[in-house]
Structure 1
Amino acid sequence: MNVRVVARYRKAVSYGIHALLAALEQAGTPVEIGLGTTPEETAALIAEPGADRVLVLWSFYSPDAEAMAAELAAVRALADGDHVLHIAGGVHATAEPQHVLDSGWDLAGIGEGESTIVALAEALRAGTELKAVPGLALKDSDGVALRTRPAPQLPLDACRSFPTPRRHVGPIELTRGCRYTCRFCQTPFMFGGQFRHRSVGSVREHLRGFREHGLRDVRFITPTCLSYGSPGPDADLGPVEELLAGVREELPHARIFFGSFPSEVRPEHVTPEAMRLLKKYVANDNIIIGAQSGSDRILEASGRGHSTAPVRDAVRIAVEHGFRPNVDFIFGMPGEEAEDQAASLRLAEDLVELGARIHTHTFMPLPGTPWRDADPAFIPLETMRRLDTLAQRGEAYGHWRRQADHSVRLAETAKAYPRRTKRRRAE
């Protein structure tokens, strides 16, 4: 059967869509590909004649689940049929497949999607049973999510970050998984609590595509960039330099962005040696440092793995070496009391004096994390005023107010979908 794959293509999730398109390309799966940048364009691609089956890809983060469900309903109203299947993937679908299915999707993708998308496209082409496809959740006859066997976690070198067309080229996924199992973060609980690093050889292979397209800006996706090449908590600058030198050798005129979005640096990894190494190779004048709290008590409770002391040191060292630190703080973490918030505000203001800028967040009880069912701490008006003052002076930025609204909705979803102790498996 002829299969068309239509992706609801949004900037916020383009990296994940690129990885799926790359998997289909690598596998040589003969399917049509369409990218819908609006609901109307997505519906028009679904409605085009010529396909026996249409598979529509959706990916979104947990805070966007409600808005995407409304968009799904709008797309279905414009173009639908028995030959159309809508699948949601990503961190929210992995953690909350029952919520995804109840919200209108036909399938939920569980875990890493490369193996699943290839097997699913092949099953649709062959007209075979979807229960044999790994990494899916689909509704059983009683409406309960039925899970197929888990999809394998592949070596990162087996997965390209993007397909060959120039318009899809983007950051190279350098590391998948994270050994720092912070209780508020979805990454280690979706991708595993160990690092899987891409080899320098695989990075260079990606860069040959950059050269063919005449591109020279190189960025990386990694939860902690100075952990590259290391299996454990300590940074190993040898592999980091091998990587950056390899990029420079492959693309002599490349502008390398490393430690800035979409990557970051853990504070205890910021040393004079590390900053001198980055200064030798990178084009970015800023780095992102994750502090998360100014309270040692909250940092310990969150499983963050460091205290406040290395945060101050990291900012001081980064500034001394010519970088502007953007420092992440999360307000309203579970168990946070007035003195903890006061400590965070004091630290944030001290870091501003040292030359940092503060990136403010509100705690969200994200699905799939140990704090999924935790109650966010109350953020009093005085704390909000001080955050607003920092923002008005250009010393802080972020969408913490919007995240506070998301936090309420996520807490409501968590109560409506309590954790299940048993997961129903397909035979």
Structure 2
Amino acid sequence: MSAPELVLVLRYRKAVTYGFHALLGALGEHETATWFEVRFGESAEETARHIREAGDVRTLVLWSFYSPDAAALADELKQIRALADGPQVTHLAGGVHATAEPMQTLDAGWDMAAIGEGESTLLSLVDAKGDPAGITGLAYRDADGKLVRTGKAKQRPLDDFPGFALKWDRFNALEITRGCIYACRFCQTPFMFSARFRHRSLANVRWHVDQMRARGLRDVRFITPTALSYGTQTDEPDLAAVEELLASCREGIGPNGRVFFGSFPSEIRPEHVSREALRLVKKYCDNNNIIVGAQSGSDRVLDAAKRGHGVEEVKRAARLGIEEGFRINVDMIFGMPGEGEQDVADSLRLARELADLGARIHAHTFMPLPGTPWRDAPPGDVDPETIREVDRLSRRGALYGHWQKQRDHAARLAAAAEAYPRPGRSRTLLPTVPPQTRLPQGD
């Protein structure tokens, strides 16, 4: 049997399977004259072995990662190149970090960076047997070392591509909305996918659920930046569209299946929480917990972050959710840019109040993520008294999260941003919020 014309090796990690499955879903439905093979590298060693086994065949190694993982994976890339390399091997990085920081990505050792949504770019690369010439959605350096940027790939309707990889029997939560109108200054989603909603149609969602049930899968979960925004293009929920979605999924997955909505891996905006919405979730879904995005207990910081809601909406959402029988998990970010003493005190007060109601705090540390308006902000700095208060809530079982690890990630991201300054951008981003000061002891 003759060799394929192109080998695709995925550096396949648990943290990024959603994105890879979407790419493979598109590839599995694509008609191409190129004879290709797909191989999954679940470790650096396995990835290198697949590259070696491809021999002289053109090999495209696909990477996807979030900004906090970029430095560690650059080290892994060096390790893989030491184990297996050659002129026929091209390492392509995709995802939010590569989109936001293509030059940084190339300088870290990748041969190409994918800009924006990857489905159409990958299909074009497969058609071209890995040759990037003339393909949109890429950044790379030519033979003379000159940077070539071909612009973002065209955004297409979600219905154009399957949400998971049927051909390779790889499934995940179903992406029902891409993009976000809320453009929060710390979030990469609206700046990668544009500040508008693109929803998967109800019929297309149902097709996916039917495929899952036919294969014996039981759980339906959703990927969306804001769950109750399904079906709308404004900041007002369309509960009729949400009910149609949930009713169809409930029917489609059958009596032995389960539907989860507003819980991991998605969340609900606090101002969207209402008794009617909660009762829809209770009627059709199986989750007994809901994630509410608060982010801060300071109205000033929420306004600076362009969150579009205030603290009272967060309190109201938690109270309603608990009254309706849900366990409420509230996302909060500590060390937001420009936090002052009173802002920190307000956030801790909100955390204690929510914990007393019975909610749990999902704690994060602010990270200056590439591609966001706050990319050049200083890393989250959590003062010792705040740390002690967070620890007290954690010991009560009222707080959880990887906020301590995120402090280290934030420092690395800030250092990388310093090395790649954006021209014409001031690092003083929040003149309306006074600089952070340490809370008095025992406050």
TM-score (norm 2): 0.92
- Equivalent of 1:305, from 303, 308, 312? 308
What is the match of residue 206 of structure 1?
208
| Ranges in structure 1 where 5+ consecutive residues have no aligned partner | 422-427
CA contact (8 A) 2:380 2:410 kept: no
What is the match of residue 170 of structure 2?
168
Offset of residue 141 of structure 1? 4.8
What is the match of residue 363 of structure 2?
360
What is the match of residue 441 of structure 2?
none
> CA deviation digits over 1:307-335, x for unaligned, max 9?
00010000000011111011000011111
1:370–1:311: structure 2 CA closer, same or farther, 3 Å change rule?
Answer: same
What is the match of residue 425 of structure 1?
none
What is the match of residue 317 of structure 1?
320
> CA deviation digits over 1:220-267, x for unaligned, max 9?
000100000010001110000000111122222220011001110000
Offset of residue 145 of structure 1? 3.1
CA contact (8 A) 2:7 2:54 kept: no
CA contact (8 A) 1:133 1:149 kept: no
SS of aligned partner of 2:293: strand
- Equivalent of 2:97, from 71, 77, 92? 92
Instruction: Report 1:92-241 matches (<5 A).
Output: 92-124=97-129, 129-141=131-143, 143-165=145-167, 167-241=169-243
What amino acid maps onto 1:68 in structure 2?
A: L
Distance in structure 2 (CA, Å) of the matches to 1:170 and 1:155: 19
- Equivalent of 1:332, from 307, 331, 335? 335
What amino acid maps onto 2:315 in structure 1?
A: R
What amino acid maps onto 2:139 in structure 1?
A: A
What is the match of residue 250 of structure 1?
252
What amino acid maps onto 2:105 in structure 1?
A: V
> CA deviation digits over 1:12-60, x for unaligned, max 9?
0000010111111111343100011100011111111466201000000
- Equivalent of 1:48, from 46, 53, 60? 53
CA contact (8 A) 1:174 1:197 kept: yes
Distance in structure 1 (CA, Å) of the matches to 2:346 and 2:85: 53
- Equivalent of 2:26, from 1, 23, 26? 23
What is the match of residue 32 of structure 1?
37
1:144–1:358: structure 2 CA closer, same or farther, 3 Å change rule?
Answer: farther
What amino acid maps onto 1:107 in structure 2?
A: M
Distance in structure 1 (CA, Å) of the matches to 2:168 and 2:389: 45
> CA deviation digits over 1:99-158, x for unaligned, max 9?
000000000000000000011111126xxx523111000014554532114310000111
Residues 372-381 or 390-399, more deviating: 372-381
SS of aligned partner of 1:121: helix
What is the match of residue 70 of structure 1?
75
Distance in structure 2 (CA, Å) of the matches to 1:377 and 1:252: 45
Distance in structure 2 (CA, Å) of the matches to 1:366 and 1:221: 20
Residues 390-399 or 179-188, more deviating: 390-399
Distance in structure 1 (CA, Å) of the matches to 2:213 and 2:289: 26
1:289–1:338: structure 2 CA closer, same or farther, 3 Å change rule?
Answer: same
- Runs of 4+ more than 6 Å apart: none
> CA deviation digits over 1:161-189, x for unaligned, max 9?
11114741111100000000000000000
CA contact (8 A) 1:109 1:136 kept: yes
Offset of residue 344 of structure 1? 0.3
What is the match of residue 5 of structure 1?
8
Offset of residue 395 of structure 1? 0.8
What amino acid maps onto 1:74 in structure 2?
A: Q
1:175–1:51: structure 2 CA closer, same or farther, 3 Å change rule?
Answer: farther
RMSD: 1.4
Distance in structure 1 (CA, Å) of the matches to 2:268 and 2:192: 21
1:386–1:243: structure 2 CA closer, same or farther, 3 Å change rule?
Answer: same
SS of aligned partner of 1:168: coil
Distance in structure 1 (CA, Å) of the matches to 2:114 and 2:53: 25
1:338–1:377: structure 2 CA closer, same or farther, 3 Å change rule?
Answer: farther
What is the match of residue 279 of structure 1?
282
1:61–1:390: structure 2 CA closer, same or farther, 3 Å change rule?
Answer: same
CA contact (8 A) 1:4 1:54 kept: yes
CA contact (8 A) 1:336 1:377 kept: no
Offset of residue 208 of structure 1? 2.0
> CA deviation digits over 1:57-102, x for unaligned, max 9?
0000000000000001111111111001000000000000000000
Offset of residue 377 of structure 1? 5.2
Distance in structure 1 (CA, Å) of the matches to 2:40 and 2:314: 42
SS of aligned partner of 1:27: coil
Distance in structure 2 (CA, Å) of the matches to 1:164 and 1:379: 45
Number of residue equivalences? 418
CA contact (8 A) 1:337 1:377 kept: no
Residue identity (%): 58
What amino acid maps onto 1:358 in structure 2?
A: I
What is the match of residue 81 of structure 1?
86
TM-score (norm 1): 0.95
1:55–1:49: structure 2 CA closer, same or farther, 3 Å change rule?
Answer: closer
CA contact (8 A) 2:58 2:129 kept: yes
Distance in structure 2 (CA, Å) of the matches to 1:159 and 1:69: 30
Offset of residue 378 of structure 1? 3.2
SS of aligned partner of 2:163: coil
1:352–1:166: structure 2 CA closer, same or farther, 3 Å change rule?
Answer: farther
CA contact (8 A) 2:184 2:305 kept: yes
> CA deviation digits over 1:388-422, x for unaligned, max 9?
1111221100111111111111111111111257x
